Amino acid sequence: MNNEALIDSFSNFKYEKKIDQVSLIAIIEESIRSVLKKKYDSSKNYDIIVNPEQGDLEIWRNRKVVKDGELKNINKEIELSKARKIETDFEVGEEVSEKVELQSLGRRSILTLKQNLLSKINEYDNTNTYNKFQKKIGEIINAEVYHVLPKQIIMKDEEQNELVLPKQEQIPTDFFRKGDPIRGLLKKVEWKDSKPFAIMTRKDEKFLEELFKLEIPEVSDGLITIKKIARIPGEKAKIAVESYDHRVDPVGACVGMKGSRIHPIVRELKNENIDVINYTSNIQLYITRSLNPAKVSMMDINEDKKYVNVYVKLEEISKAIGKGGQNIRLASQLTGYKINIFRESSYDDDVELTEFSDEIEPQIINKFSLAGLNTAKAILHSNKHDLMIQTKLKEEIITNVVNILKKEFEEENNKNIYK
């Protein structure tokens, strides 16, 4: 292989791997110097000129002229008689530059050079791809299904880079065939077998947020802010939104006329039911909205321990809990509060637990108080098992306390509906 043939063969990588010219020149020069150093122990006395555009490669070896018989390093020195065969007027101490052809390095060196070039170009390409993916983490990627495997889907983006959608990152109802278009959020990129390994997700809450940014201009423009997302992929999601401009209705803008804006997102998520609610810093109102479509009658909030007892009418209980407990679970995730649902009772007036100090021992009252149970109603609306855990009191003591309190209220309304 001659110099020009080497350049021709590797200049193609500039286009195939999209390597810039400066990087390609550096890779070729570094690879050649590596081979020279291996063959001659040094490459410092070589000038390498690379021009991929013109297909030029020149290697020049610079050696110092020494007297005949005083040659110590054949790579860095040349005897006077040999130097004068190149130019008749060379003198001892001058520097001689000779053009080196690749063939003179030998077959093994040329093979090593080709392997080095391929390795470095692939390394450059992989590093470049890794860096591109790193910059796109958290963004939605459009790709095409390349191969469907039991535990993952292999995809290719517009630049033919491979991405992976693991089974655990797929929506349970996802179904794709080879060639199908697919969208997902780039979750992370790792190195695997010296190659970048891009991992996608369609289950992450961030995927839903980015879909809102794509479909709803007010969100992408920052007029509407997404405050919190709670999601059961493929089933149901709740998303709290807020607008700093009073002229913009955040819920209306996100849903669109007759659902025109939310429907494409629902379809992308395989008919996932999405509730959009107005965010508010008013905790009671926020919890009420999060339990939509159920109508809340009243609630007791314990902000320190982050739980709330919510009371609803009998016909609203199933709505508040939702299918398989989905509604209450998502409301809890959205608000950050553990929510307990109770049937609305006739306990219109509550009584402080301390009012029963003549019948209940002070240390027992104190244990209820430490558990955040300061009133008769709070205890009567709680499950006996939960009371034992919260107070660390024995079952017979709990039963006795409950019986004392029941005397003040109607026993038929003491049931805890959601446990």
Q: Residue 360: helix, strand or coil by DSSP?
A: coil
CB of 414 closer than 8 Å to CB of 378: no
Query: For 94-137, what is the HEC assignment?
Result: CEEEEEECHHHHCHHHHHHHHHHHHHHHHHHHHHHHHHHHHHCC
CB of 347 closer than 8 Å to CB of 409: yes
Distance CA 59, CA 50 (A): 9
Please tell me what DSSP assigns to residue 375: B
Q: How many Cα atoms sit within 13 Å of 247 on the Cβ side?
A: 2
- Cβ within 8 Å of residue 325, ≥6 positions away: none
- pLDDT given at position 283: 92
Domain ranges of the chain: 3-131, 136-203, 205-279, 280-307+315-338, 353-413
Model confidence pLDDT, tens digit, residues 116-134 = 888 888 888 888 899 999 9
Residue ranges of the chain whose pLDDT lies below 50: 347, 411-419
| Nearest in space to 381 (alpha carbons), one of 330, 335, 355, 419 | 419
One CATH from 1.10.4100, 1.10.8, 1.10.1660, 1.10.150 for 353-413: 1.10.150
- 273: which 2 tokens? 């039911």
- Cβ within 8 Å of residue 89, ≥6 positions away: none
CA distances from 41 to 58, 76, 100 (A): 20, 11, 16
CATH topology of domain 136-203: OB fold (Dihydrolipoamide Acetyltransferase, E2P) (2.40.50)
Strand partners, 312: 296, 343
Long-range residue pairs from 185-188, CB within 8 A, at least 24 positions apart, any chain: 185/138, 185/139, 185/140, 185/141, 185/210, 186/133, 186/136, 186/137, 186/138, 186/139, 186/140, 186/141, 187/137, 188/137
- pLDDT given at position 349: 62
- pLDDT given at position 5: 59
- 383: which 2 tokens? 């499950």
Q: Do domains 205-279 and 280-307+315-338 have the same CATH topology?
A: yes
The amino acid that residue 321 corresponds to is I
CATH architecture of 280-307+315-338: 2-Layer Sandwich (3.30)
CB of 239 closer than 8 Å to CB of 201: no
- pLDDT given at position 211: 97
- Please say whether the dihedral angle defined by the alpha carbons of residues 341, 343, 347 and 348, taken in this order, is positive or negative: positive
- pLDDT given at position 314: 85
Distance CA 122, CA 127 (A): 8
Distance CA 279, CA 43 (A): 68
Model confidence pLDDT, tens digit, residues 81-121 = 998 888 888 999 999 988 888 777 777 877 888 888 888 88
| Nearest in space to 205 (alpha carbons), one of 136, 274, 253, 261 | 274
Q: How many Cα atoms sit within 13 Å of 410 on the Cβ side?
A: 8
* CATH of region 205-279: 3.30.300.20
- pTM value is 0.66
- Cβ within 8 Å of residue 373, ≥6 positions away: 353, 379, 382, 387, 390, 391
- 83: which 2 tokens? 């130097």
- pLDDT given at position 416: 43
CA distances from 215 to 48, 204, 227, 254, 386 (A): 54, 18, 17, 9, 45
To the question of domain 3-131 being in CATH 3.30.870, the answer is no
- pLDDT given at position 126: 87
CB of 72 closer than 8 Å to CB of 142: no
Distance CA 211, CA 296 (A): 31
Q: Nearest 5°: phi and psi at 59?
A: -120, 120
- pLDDT given at position 157: 92
